[in-house]
Amino acid sequence: MKVIVGLGNPGARYAGTRHNVGFAVIDWLAEAPQTSRPLRRFNAEIRERLEEGTKVLLVKPQSFMNLSGRSVREVLDFYQVLTEELLVICDDFNLPLGKLRIRSKGSEGGHNGLRDIINHLGTMGFPRLRIGVGPPEKGEAIDHVLGRFQPSEKPCIEDAIDRAGQAASLWVHRGIQECMNQYNG
């Protein structure tokens, strides 16, 4: 079993914001016909799908971004999934708009959602896929990540969400190394 977690903030107020690109990738993956309807468990929206014999859970924690760790921990514990079988997808304003960065492990890099997951799992040893949402103006980080994309940015971020969904599917089938080789750069 594989678990793909997209980070974001719940509610219509945050839909389409830079901070919610992780949710957008989960929604992209959930469009596949073999995906179940969403279930509410572990303070998350969870969908299941079967990909070439591999069960994949698509998870959108419904706590706010900075409190995502407990939900992720509960999912992994209940389904008895190792952290190596977890992929977390989130935004990163330190990356140029639309750039993907995939790592097999690492620090939170200043991302509070990743920090909370690391705190709850007790390890930095899980794959993560960061999607560049572009840099904020000086001192404007919170407004930037909670803001919406400009019309001129939408084609780039929509392409990045598509590529991130494809990268996540590749991770399921071929593993993190193949995913990094193909999508980093």
pLDDT tens figures, 18-31: 999 999 999 999 99
The topology under which CATH files domain 2-183 is Rossmann fold (3.40.50)
Q: Which pLDDT band, with edges at 50, 70 and 90, does 74 fall under? A: very high
Q: Where are the domains of the chain?
A: 2-183
Which position among 19, 120, 144, 173 bears the catalytic label? 19
Share above pLDDT 90 across residues of the chain, in percent, rounded to a whole number: 84
pTM: 0.95
Q: Which pLDDT band, with edges at 50, 70 and 90, does 136 fall under? A: confident
Mean pLDDT to the nearest integer, 119-140: 92
Asked about 144 being catalytic, the answer comes back as: no
Residue 139: pLDDT over 80:
no
Structure tokens of 123? 């390890």
Question: What confidence score (pLDDT) does residue 16 get?
Answer: 92
For residue 52, what are the CA distances in angstroms to 1, 41, 56, 87, 178? 12, 25, 10, 18, 17
Phi first, then psi: give them for residue 86, nearest 5 degrees.
-110, 135
Least confident of 1-5, 46-50, 97-101, 140-144: 140-144
Residue 7: pLDDT over 90:
yes
Question: What confidence score (pLDDT) does residue 138 get?
Answer: 78
